[in-house]
Amino acid sequence: MASGPDHFDRDEGEIEFSRTLAFSDGVFAFAITLLVTTIDVPDLDGPVSSARLWEHVTDLRPFVLSYFLSFLIVGLFWLRHHRLFSRIRRLDGTALWLNILLLSTIALMPFSTEMIGRYGELASGVVVYAANLSAAGLAFTWLWWHCACRDMLGEELTDDQRRRELLVRLSIPVGFLVSIPIVFVSITAAQVLWVLTIAGQRLAMRTL
């Protein structure tokens, strides 16, 4: 069986590059669409009334909140992925596998979103969500680091620039990892840390 090249340049292998992007966008789109399936339409037993329906709808509040949180996070990952691939000029087999690793964590988001929506008051349910986001952040950082160290980006980065960008990119996975032990003390404190981590990275990215 013939094997393909171990890497391809973007200009010389536009079809391969486009297929990688199309596959990645498809996984992001599929995952973000599946998030809405974590919110079930209320099934009323017995007499149906607006009051009972509204009561069941308000019970869905944790699922709705987890849906919007995950929609925002997956959207941010897609934006980061889009911006990274706009910088990438060359890909190799390792980068493709790291991209698949990242996409596997994104595809898991509907599961962890339903976990936190259904069991958000339990530490174990929140830990599953934090672990998923931490894994996604680590996979994305690993993909960027590989491309940056192998001169696959369309710009030259100094060692200092690479280190600073690495620290900024690690803030998401580290923040969610740190939140895991905090969950067992205070779930609310852990979730506040999530918000601060996401907001802090967005601000830090503007300085790069």
pLDDT in tens, 172-186: 999 999 999 999 999
Q: What does the mean pLDDT of the chain come to?
A: 87
The number of helices, as runs of H, and strands, as runs of E, in the chain is 8, 2
State what percent of residues in the chain have pLDDT above 70. Answer: 90
pLDDT in tens, 43-53: 767 677 677 67
pTM: 0.85
Residues 6+ apart with CB under 8 A from 21: 85
- Which sequence spans correspond to the domains of the chain? 10-205
In angstroms, rounded to a whole number, what is the distance separating the alpha carbons of residues 25 and 109? 15
pLDDT at 13: 60
pLDDT at 196: 92
